[in-house]
Amino acid sequence: LAEAEDRVLAQARAFGEEAARPAALADFDILATLDAAELARLEGYLAPARYPAGTVIIAEGEAADRLFLLASGTAQARVTLADGRPKVLASFAPGVAFGELALFQDERRTADVVATSEASCFTLTLDALARLAAEAPELHGKLLLGVGRGLAERLRRANAEIRALGR
């Protein structure tokens, strides 16, 4: 038990250290295939946003109209279960994107995302994404491919978690 607690505490410290260091665009896995010039061009389509701790960044059920790139702070994706209990789906640190489904479906948000500490994000609205597609189609394609890879990785992790629950 003590070893498990030590591992959990070490992970929490590492997560806290990671959250304290602001992420540059080059730090995001979904942007890993972009070179410096492409990152600079993409930055022109992004808008900054700041969220105090406890702020709902995304509310379940609202229109999905932008992608978020967490530059600093921490956040959690949460849903409310049928019995009213909250369930944390994921915790985010700098360098992680969330809200990606907005880029692929004209649907409502499926979970809340709450800032668990003061957080700053780069945001990409659907309007900015459409401009990017028209003005820089190759960059647009690379961005969508990176987002798709990120979603595929999350699906792999979710599948592994579901398998583990069945054991």
pLDDT tens, residue by residue, 74-118: 999 999 999 999 899 999 999 999 999 878 887 899 999 999 999
Tell me how far apart the alpha carbons of residues 9 and 25 are, in angstroms, rounded to a whole number. 29
What pLDDT, in 10s, does the model give residues 26-60?
Answer: 999 999 999 999 999 999 999 999 999 999 999 99
What's the average model confidence in pLDDT over 140-162?
89
**Is the entire prediction scored with pTM above 0.85?**
no
Average of pLDDT values for 134-153?
94
Average pLDDT along the chain: 88
Judged against a pLDDT cut of 70, whether residue 8 lies above it is answered with no
Structure confidence at residue 151 (pLDDT): 87
Q: What are phi and psi of 98, to 5 degrees?
A: -145, 165
How far apart are alpha carbons 33 and 62 in whole angstroms?
31
